[in-house]
Chains A and B, each alone.
Chain A
Amino acid sequence: MIRANRWRPVRVWLAIGAAGLVLSVIGFVTDPHQAYASWLAAFAAGVSIALGALILVAVTHLTGARWFDPLRRIALDIAGTLPLFALLFLLLLPGVGRLYPWAHAPNAVNAAYLNPAFFVIRAVVYFAIWIAVGLTLRRWALARSTGAELPPSQRERALAAVALPALGLTLTFAAFDWLMSLTPAWSSTIFGVYWFAGGFLAALALVALAGALGPMPLDEDRGYALGALLLTFVVFWAYIAYCQYLIIWIGDVPAEVAWYVPRVRGSWGALALVLLFGQFLLPLLALLPHAAKVSSRMLAPVAAWLLVMHYLDCYWLVLPALHPDAVHAHWLDLGALAAVAGTAGAWATWLHAT
């Protein structure tokens, strides 16, 4: 009976993921442009959360955050989905030609960097580093006598120190490759930090949500630490988003504003405002009071809300490349989201149960 209950969440997530996969595969055949763009948005949101969880583990290893010890297993299980994201990335590869204009511009100035072969080689390097670090940190944490709830060992801290710069660089280049190059003539050096800020915030939110809904509710100290970090990264995300926007807005050069023009007009502009309020002002006000940070019951809904916002943020990054005129909500958006969230949820809950 207990065993059956343990696997139930895995089966539920798997059912969602399978339904999403079926829809997406139908989409890849019937409406590939839409299907691959929807897939990229969901994939970018999901993989950034897994990376954020991995960076969270590495950072707390190094700062010696003891409050994080009981939550580390959750973050390690989220980071443990990185091999799955490598598989999900494979499904994106047939769509490279449809998603990225540079795939058909072998003579463009940046073709030495942006070409399909090098794109794949770089992705292999990113995933190799992420998976190696994620799985090793997880195995070493579980190898400790009573599991992941003890402070990290010396070798774990050493690996975290070596890995963090590599994670920062690969995450930045992955953001350039997968998201920024949707508009190949446009560049923003802060773009990788923007994607990191959103992913790290969402990873914190997912850890807080899983912790709050888990068998042991968050105590006051743990809740406060998570709530304060969520508040910090809500502000950090807004700060990075604003920095990029201000510099480009005030420069007002055609080549630089090209990326923003479709994203701040019409219904895309409305979505940008949803993000401004939903991922900054509302959570900022919700997380300011001390009482909101120390209570699981207050943190859980804010965390769930922030996860939705992170998906919308990635949607806003990707989909205007396909529909520059306006938001065209499509059933394939939901299909891709279900496929990514379902398979990743199944993967993480399976890791958690074993």
Chain B
Amino acid sequence: MKMSRGLLAEFASADALVAGVVALESHGYSQLETYTPFPVPGLERRLRLGHSRLPLLVFAGGVIGAILGYGIQWYADVRAYLLNSGGRPAHAVPAFIPATFEATILGAALTGFVALLIALRLPALWHPVFEVEGFESASVDRYWLAVGADDRLFDHNGTRAALDALGPLRVVPIPEMVA
């Protein structure tokens, strides 16, 4: 038997996929991954992905952006180059707000973009599931469920039997390496 990274089951409907996830989790599997052509309602909760840290990172990025945006204006107008503009105070809080706001958005958006790339290990040009014949249907009309070989309960024959019991269209191994 060839070494594999896990097993992949193809389902014809989102309901069958969700039922499969529920069944495998009740068996105790934890390294599950799904591939669907659209976000399936309730699937994320079923997969017990845990809380994303992204919102906190984005918030922190926004706060840092705000501080930098305000700080650079304060430094320029109050410390580095005092400019009397019609007798208004050098530390002109209302006038500093628009750029501070923009810097907040920039900080939050850039943090979100970069953190998401890192969290998803992108950009990646190749992934083992791409080697499975017909996997591109995951972005058309099929629903795929993967069980990772790193799962505590993973056992090639036993897991294949468990997947077969869910009534998939087919079960295929995820190849380890490209030949």
Contact = CB atoms under 8 A, between A and B. Distances in A.
A245 B88 CA distance: 15
B132 interface: no
Contacts of B88: 250, 252
Interface string B66-98: 000000000000000000001110000011011
A246 interface: yes
Contacts, number: 17
Most central of B88, B94, B95 by chain A CB within 10 Å: B94
B59 interface: yes
B28 interface: no
B55 interface: yes
Contacts of A246: 94-95, 97-98
A80 B87 CA distance: 51
Nearest to A250: B95
Contacts of B59: 288
Nearest to B52: A290
For the complex, would chain B's binding face be called helix, strand, loop or mixed by DSSP majority?
helix
Chain A, interface size category, equals: under 10
B55 A250 contact: no
A250 B88 CA distance: 8
A250 B59 CA distance: 30
A186 interface: no
Nearest to A246: B94
B55 A245 contact: no
Contacts of B97: 242, 246
A249 B97 CA distance: 13
Contacts of A252: 86-88
A132 B86 CA distance: 51
Interface string A236-257: 0000001001100110100000
B36 to A, nearest CB: 21
A249 B59 CA distance: 30
Nearest to B85: A250
Interface in A232-276: 242, 245-246, 249-250, 252
Contact of A249 (B55, B87, B94): B94
B60 to A, nearest CB: 12
A242 B96 CA distance: 12
B132 to A, nearest CB: 35
B66 to A, nearest CB: 12
Given A288-B59, A289-B55, A290-B55, A245 B94 contact: yes
Interface of A: 242, 245-246, 249-250, 252, 288-290
Interface of B: 55, 59, 86-88, 94-95, 97-98
Among all A-B residue pairs, the 3 with the closest Cβ atoms:
A249-B94, A246-B94, A250-B95
6 contacts: A250-B95, A252-B86, A252-B87, A252-B88, A288-B59, A289-B55
Given A242-B97, A252-B88, A289-B55, 12 more contacts: A242-B94, A245-B94, A246-B94, A246-B97, A246-B98, A249-B94, A250-B94, A250-B95, A252-B86, A252-B87, A288-B59, A290-B55
